[in-house]
Copies of this chain bind each other. A is one copy, B any other.
Amino acid sequence: MSWQSQLVAQLDETKQAAFFLATLSREKKDESLRFLANLLRRKKLEILEVNRKDVAKASASGYQAAFIDRLTLTEERVEKMAGACEDVADLPDPVGQVTWRTIRPNGLEIHRVRVPIGVIAIIYESRPDVTIEAAILCLKAGNCAVLRGGKEAIFSNRLLVELIKQALLETGIPGASVNLLASGGRQAVPFLLKQTRFIDLVIPRGGESLITTIVKHSRIPVIKHYKGVCHTYVDAEADINMALKVTFNAKVQRPGTCNATETLLVHRSIAPKFLPLMAEKFRLAGVEMRGCPETCKLIPDAIPARSSDWGQEYLALIIAIRVVNSLSEAIEHITHFGTGHSEAIITNNQEAAREFLKKVDAACVYHNASTRFTDGGQFGLGAEIGISTDRIHARGPMGLEELTTYKYLIYGQGQVRS
């Protein structure tokens, strides 16, 4: 069987399962999630053993440390996966929630009700934890998931999806509700992206080249989870201690994440006081500073920034720093270089904050808080499948509700239109 036929056969059985999943009770879904939690715990050693094969192969191929880290499972990480299954089981079921209702003058009663989207394809890099995360969130929202993970995680993903299927079957849910699409090489993704009959939504999580390929080839709606070039702007009227604390957290607390701040913008009038203090803290934490000429005057050990530093996602202990003449200039910089992810202003001036929050076009805009809070858990959404950098359907942290669509149910007593 060709890889194309293999993929279509898998998609076809998943599509069949979607019809069943759409009307599944909360109890069944939660039972399955709890079964999976325990199964992951029971099979921990087996999972770790299989994962070592992936890691060994990737290490031998010379992948970088950060890549290997994301690929590696530990006892603690498997336990975290199991815990996530239980957490998702505890969340309310979005399916069936009535989000709007009205009774029209003619007596028609209209309800807008959340329903599953259908079949969701998740395309991601070599992170086995995403396999579990994506599958359980899709399942809880009544969706089927077809997973295309990075090839370097293939042994881990195969076993994990096998365990998911086992948990599904054990509780009377079709195993095909979750499928790992492993056939085919580089051409498989463009091929999948044309299967509009089988897939309702594509969620890619990854870097620039992955996203570009997907947008170019997809005939299926896509919600991109793309990079975050986040800015923190320290306004003329900022509380300096707060600005130091918040900016430090936004950069240093976990620099490898998409909601970490990459560029610091500072108002000219506060820069001479603020920047030397900020530099001291950054220096101690080993943060490399790349500054505009103004910044370099105030921070002697800052490296002159190149034009490519503006708008760059370092994901590392590096920060670009620019002195601006006004709030408007800060907003313009963000409009030009931001990726619509998370942006922050630090100020005690309410008028400046209002303007920043109104004019900055991003999923999350902060006043006096760290950009690091952009996260489904931190927002109280319970869990997230990722952070959408798109504007259509879902923006920012994507939780269970964002994994649903809706339909209108209309109750009549024989009404006709005149």
Query: Interface code A268-290, partner B: CB below 8 Å = 1, 0 otherwise?
Result: 00000000000000000000000
User: Which stretch in A53-61, A78-86, A157-165, A405-413 binds the other chain?
Assistant: A405-413
Residue among A108, A115, A416 having the largest count of chain B Cβ atoms under 10 Å: A416
Given contacts A242-B414, A250-B416, A373-B415, 6 further A-B contacts (CB under 8 A): A104-B379, A115-B361, A221-B391, A253-B417, A363-B408, A367-B412
Copies in the complex: 2
The interface of chain A, by Cβ under 8 A from chain B, is 19, 22-23, 102, 104, 108, 110, 115, 117-118, 196, 200-201, 215-216, 219, 221-223, 239, 242, 245-246, 248-250, 253, 335, 357-359, 361-370, 372-374, 378-380, 390-393, 395-396, 405-418
Cα(A412)–Cα(B342), bound, Å: 14
- Min CB distance A202 to B, Å, is 10
Interchain CB contact under 8 A, A410 and B366: yes
Interchain CB contact under 8 A, B201 and A417: no
Q: Which of B250, B391, B417 contacts A405 (CB 8 A)?
A: B391
Q: Which of B393, B396, B416 contacts A253 (CB 8 A)?
A: B416
Interchain CB contact under 8 A, A219 and B219: no
Interchain CB contact under 8 A, B379 and A102: yes
Please give me the residue from chain B that is nearest to A254 by CB atom: B417
Interchain CB contact under 8 A, B245 and A363: no
What residues on B are CB-neighbors of A406 within 8 Å? 395
20 contacts between A and B (CB under 8 A): A19-B361, A104-B378, A108-B373, A196-B215, A201-B392, A223-B392, A242-B414, A253-B417, A364-B407, A365-B407, A368-B411, A369-B412, A369-B414, A369-B416, A370-B412, A370-B416, A373-B415, A392-B405, A396-B407, A396-B408
What residues on B are CB-neighbors of A405 within 8 Å? 391-392, 395
Interchain CB contact under 8 A, B369 and A239: no
Q: Which of B110, B221, B364 contacts A410 (CB 8 A)?
A: B364
- Min CB distance A101 to B, Å, is 11
Given known A392-B392, A405-B392, A417-B378, contact A410–B369 (CB-CB < 8 A): yes
Q: Which of B102, B221, B417 contacts A222 (CB 8 A)?
A: B221
Interchain CB contact under 8 A, A414 and B245: yes
Interchain CB contact under 8 A, A110 and B411: no
Interchain CB contact under 8 A, B361 and A416: no
What residues on B are CB-neighbors of A110 within 8 Å? 379-380
Interchain CB contact under 8 A, B416 and A249: yes
Interchain CB contact under 8 A, B368 and A102: no
